[in-house]
Amino acid sequence: MKEIFPSISAIRYEGPKSKNPFAFKYYNPEEKLGAKTMREQLKFAVSYWHTLCGKGTDMFGDGTADKDFGGGSVMQIYKNKVYAAFEIMEKLDIDYFCFHDRDIAPEADTLAKTNERLDEIVPIIEDLMKEKNKKLLWGTANLFSNPRYMHGAATSCNPEVFAFAAAQIKKALEITQRLGGQGYVFWGGREGYETLLNTDMKLELDNLARLLRLSVDYGRQIGFEGDFYIEPKPKEPTKHQYDFDVASVLAFLRAYGLENDFKMNVEANHATLAGHTFQHELCLARINGVFGSIDANQGDMLLGWDTDQFPTNVYEAALCMTEVLKAGGFTKGGLNFDAKARRGSFEHADIFHSYIAGMDTFALGLRLAYKIKEDGRIDDFTANRYAGYKSGLGSDIVSGKVTMEDLEAYALEKGDVISTLKSSGQEYLENVMNSIMFS
């Protein structure tokens, strides 16, 4: 296997004082925080689509980056992408990767020929996984790029398209299972609408649930034991995406009896597009028992679209990792960088700078999450804020002992309760956050 990035050597931890641009300053994979190493807790994954396929195209211009990696024919290009992927994982010491079916092999004229292309590439991936000890975090099917999905996939008005989508998922599930994938993701690519003037929303949602049920049942039938995830996103590419946010997805899953079959793959930039913080989406997933995996990136707060930038915001990463710790850490999920270098950052070295930035940011986030936990001031403040629910009236409310009449009698007897209130302490807590971050 020819080396594709000969000028880049293995990236190692050198500590915060290092000025070597090709070294980790904060991510020290074997260092233990709590009971586990950083590697075990962060479970970083390469996103195949951005890293190996994304060339920096936008609606105003062609790609700027070379992602052929020296390949000539179509299939050689895709084979070289595999070699590049494993070299990137090896040099960055990343254990996991994720892909869509179409990232690893391009479509041919018919589905059968496309599947043959997949069958040519999958064994190469399988061998390299064994040789380099790399793992598949999750697989998925691209049900949005091809023009056949212009009206959606499961939610298309056309049942032929529904069948095609099912066939693609079936194959993607088989590949994910064969490669030992720990998860399978459904991101609702074009499952949404542009206008309700032409949309039967009830049938579309019913059909979305039907395809999810068929997929889960098939996955379990072939012995897939990984987690199934839904990745919420409120808009883009469609004006309204059905999997809007964690709350909407939970309501949908419960309405169709799918709540025990899915967890969430929460993406940072999707949260902000939905008008939520990343922490909000993670918290909601956690308290509902559906925290699964993370697509880590960041958006630009001045823009209303999915910029998929590599995360560099340490404050956000600290709040994210605080939620992950509260959830008990990742089980089958992990931290995938669904992120791409900017269009002008077209050199191969930029791929490495990007991952180093994202990995160091989340390493700092994990270190800070432990400091926040050990410091205890924030957790204690919050616990004290609700202390009234631990005894007396509060514990009677929580245990369901009180009636409306009891509550009225209590309020009437007190006359007013304003004097019992205390400050929400937000500014105090923000000061605490800064003192923990910069101590």
- Annotated catalytic residues are 100, 103
Nearer to ligand XUL, 28 or 140 (CB): 140
The Cα angle at residue 83 between residues 81 and 88, in degrees rounded to 5: 90
Nearer to Co ion, 38 or 264 (CB): 264
Q: What is the bridge-based pairing of β-strands 23-24 and 32-33?
A: unpaired
Site string for ligand XUL, 156-195 (x = CB under 6 A): -----------------------------x-x--------
Amino acid at 112: A
Q: Which two tokens stand for residue 68?
A: 């052929």
Reduced to 3 states, what is the DSSP secondary structure of residue 161? helix
Q: Which neighbouring-strand residues pair with 291?
A: 264
Q: Compute the distance between CA of residue 228 and CA of residue 169 in angstroms, rounded to an integer.
A: 12
- Window 264-303: residues binding ligand XUL (CB under 6 A): 267, 295
Site string for Co ion, 260-289 (x = CB under 5 A): -------x----------------------
Q: Give, to the nearest 10 degrees, the angle between helix 278-287 and helix 314-326.
A: 0
The Cα angle at residue 340 between residues 146 and 142, in degrees rounded to 5: 25
Among 103, 245, 261, 295, binds Co ion (CB under 5 A): 295
Q: Compute the distance between CA of residue 186 and CA of residue 265 in angstroms, rounded to an integer.
A: 9
Residue 306 interface partner, choices ligand XUL, Co ion, none, CB cut-off 5-8 Å depending on type: ligand XUL
Site string for ligand XUL, 84-123 (x = CB under 6 A): ----------------x-----------------------
Residue 233 interface partner, choices Co ion, ligand XUL, none, CB cut-off 5-8 Å depending on type: ligand XUL
Closest approach of Co ion to the CB of residue 149, in Å: 17
No. of H helices and E strands in the chain? 16, 14
The Cα angle at residue 326 between residues 325 and 331, in degrees rounded to 5: 60
Among 306, 316, 323, 360, binds ligand XUL (CB under 6 A): 306
Q: What is the bridge-based pairing of β-strands 291-295 and 240-241?
A: unpaired
Closest approach of ligand XUL to the CB of residue 340, in Å: 10
Site string for ligand XUL, 124-163 (x = CB under 6 A): ----------------x-----------------------
Q: Compute the distance between CA of residue 323 and CA of residue 318 in angstroms, rounded to an integer.
A: 9
Nearer to ligand XUL, 117 or 190 (CB): 190
Question: Dihedral sign, CA of 430, 434, 437, 439?
Answer: negative
Residue of this chain nearest to ligand XUL (CB atom):
187
- Total interface residues for Co ion by CB under 5 A: 3
Closest approach of Co ion to the CB of residue 267, in Å: 4
Check: CB of residue 265 under 8 Å from CB of residue 293.
yes
Residue 243 interface partner, choices Co ion, ligand XUL, none, CB cut-off 5-8 Å depending on type: none
Residue 138 interface partner, choices ligand XUL, Co ion, none, CB cut-off 5-8 Å depending on type: none
DSSP string, 181-226: -SEEEEE-TT-EES-GGG--HHHHHHHHHHHHHHHHHHHHHTT--S
For residue 261, state whether it binds ligand XUL (rule: CB under 6 A).
no
Q: Compute the distance between CA of residue 53 and CA of residue 417 in angstroms, rounded to an integer.
A: 61
Among 95, 261, 338, 360, binds Co ion (CB under 5 A): 338
Residues that bind Co ion (CB under 5 A): 267, 295, 338
Residues that bind ligand XUL (CB under 6 A): 100, 140, 185, 187, 231, 233, 267, 295, 306, 338
